[in-house]
Structure 1
Amino acid sequence: MRRPRPAGGPERLTTFSDGVYAIAMTLLVLDVSVPPDLDDAGFHTALRGLVPNLGAYALSFVVLVGFWRDHHRIFRIVRQIDSTVVTLCMFGLGVTALLPFPTTLVSEYGRDPASVAIYSAAVAALSTAHLGLLVVLRRRPWLRTEEPMPEGVWFAADLGSTAVVFLLSVPAALVFGPGVMWAWLGLIPLKTYLGRRTRFPDTDTYAGAPTDRG
């Protein structure tokens, strides 16, 4: 197997990634607002109208937190990066930065199947990018630290379950309507189970450097 030239350590990439996730999470809240100078009736109507916005905000915030956590779990075992790792990360971060847009579509046009399909496609793409990172690191051991990898099958299943559910939601939303969003709740017990089966190194390691608890 051709061994690509490493492009250095992962520290700058992980710092940049943290910034993108933080900005994307912050942008989600921009859709949650009430117009000024409303009378009592208009104020209460506006508050009721915020329910879809708050629901979409909560959903996307939880999604981004989960992906940010997975990103850190993956990079705990990274010692060096190469062009493939950078490309996959940039693709994933591009989708991350874009996620506030499909979130707005779901909050404003949640009854339109196309909005749910677009949101599902974005989440599936981000999950696929993380799964690709895990595959690359498994096939290129020179990029990893000496710490053992997490249980590959279970961690891959954890990442892949999100990709599969949301990818299938794209045609399902177009055929059956936006009600397919309720199927996403099934990921909660599934990912909880898979997350418990995934074992990580006992020592706290980030970007290849052990941390000092003391």
Structure 2
Amino acid sequence: MSTAEGAGARATARYDRDSVEFSRAVAFFDAAYAFALTLLVVNIDPPPAEDWATPARWVTSGLGWQFFGFAVSFIVIAVFWRVNHRLGSEFTGFSSGTITANLVALALIVFIPFSTQGISDPATADEPLAVAVYAVNISVAVMAQSAVYLVARRDRLLRHPLPRRADTVNLIDAMSTPAVFLLSIPVAYLWGAEWGRWCWLLLIVVGPISGRWAARRVARIVSEERPAPPPAPSS
């Protein structure tokens, strides 16, 4: 085989679901998500010994925003992992494109512990830039994870591909999260970083509403595009 043919074979490599390569890739991605979750605890600085005297001093020692950042980012990364797990359960295999797309998304996931430091460190938590960096990090990560699905569809790696219109609806639903995070950036610069962070609580309302709308819309599209049953034979 020539060098060009070998490069072409590598570019179009496909690893079926029952292959060792598929299992190794899934294990690698899962381990990276777990590592990103573990790194979050590094952003929590143990308070001085005197601040362990009472719960009030312990909380006011600066741990408040650190615990806030840890909790928010733990939930965010856990949601990313669940979405990635759900996507992977629909894959019939991996292609070079889906592996590359997953690596790009993973790079943004493992960056979250760093951006979390900005919003949780008492020295930087009140800076609008800390909110902006974190919001952009999460927003771009959501977009990258959505791209994983689109690449898998392009490479025909989905067990149950949806109609194109349904994919558009799900993409709109996914973009509701970046919309909330990006909204927090101007809020942080206009009214302060604390208000910017509180904007993220809008996801508690926006997420379920957007999810229910998308689920109903997708179900309607699927039913509309489902082939009609053949007519019953006449007697």
Distance 1:6 1:18, change over 3 A: same
Could you say which residue in structure 1 is the equivalent of 2:126? 111
Alpha-carbon distance, 1:112 to partner: 0.2
Could you say which residue in structure 2 is the equivalent of 1:211? none
Q: Which residue, 23, 27, 44 being the options, matches 1:32?
A: 44
Note if contact 1:53-1:107 (Cα within 8 Å) is conserved in structure 2: yes
Could you tell me which amino acid in structure 1 is paired with residue 101 of structure 2? Answer: L
Distance 1:22 1:113, change over 3 A: same
Could you say which residue in structure 2 is the equivalent of 1:7? 14
Could you tell me which amino acid in structure 1 is paired with residue 175 of structure 2? Answer: G
1:80 paired with 2:96, answer: no
Could you tell me which amino acid in structure 1 is paired with residue 15 of structure 2? Answer: G
CA-to-partner distance for each residue in 1:95-130, whole Å, 9 max, x for gaps?
A: 111111111110111210010001011101110111
1:92 paired with 2:99, answer: no
Alpha-carbon distance, 1:148 to partner: 4.5
In structure 1, distance between residues paired with 2:115 and 2:172: 25
Gaps of 5+ in 1: 201-214
Q: Which residue, 126, 131, 144 being the options, matches 2:158?
A: 144
SS in 2 for 1:72: helix
Could you tell me which amino acid in structure 2 is paired with residue 107 of structure 1? Answer: S
Could you tell me which amino acid in structure 2 is paired with residue 29 of structure 1? Answer: V
Aligned residues: 195
Percent identical among aligned pairs is 32
Q: Which residue, 51, 72, 75 being the options, matches 2:64?
A: 51
Could you say which residue in structure 2 is the equivalent of 1:173? 188
Distance 1:11 1:157, change over 3 A: farther
Could you say which residue in structure 2 is the equivalent of 1:206? none
Alpha-carbon distance, 1:33 to partner: 4.0
- Find the structure with the greater CA-based Rg: 2
Residues 10-25 of structure 1: pairs in structure 2 closer than 5 A: 10-25=22-37
Could you say which residue in structure 2 is the equivalent of 1:187? 203
In structure 1, distance between residues paired with 2:52 and 2:142: 44
Note if contact 1:8-1:82 (Cα within 8 Å) is conserved in structure 2: yes
Gaps of 5+ in 2: 1-10, 17-21, 219-235
Q: Which residue, 157, 166, 178 being the options, matches 2:172?
A: 157
In structure 2, distance between residues paired with 1:124 and 1:185: 15
More helix by share: 2
**Greater RCO (CA < 8 Å, at least 6 residues apart):** 1
Note if contact 1:113-1:173 (Cα within 8 Å) is conserved in structure 2: yes
Note if contact 2:112-2:137 (Cα within 8 Å) is conserved in structure 1: yes
Alpha-carbon distance, 1:39 to partner: 6.4
In structure 2, distance between residues paired with 1:54 and 1:39: 16
**TM-score, with length taken from structure 1:** 0.78
After alignment, is 12-21 or 149-158 more displaced? Answer: 149-158
Could you say which residue in structure 1 is the equivalent of 2:228? none
**TM-score, with length taken from structure 2:** 0.72
In structure 2, distance between residues paired with 1:74 and 1:163: 19
CA-to-partner distance for each residue in 1:60-81, whole Å, 9 max, x for gaps?
A: 1111111111111211211122
RMSD, matched Cα: 2.6
Deviating runs (4+, > 4 A) in structure 1? 39-44, 148-151
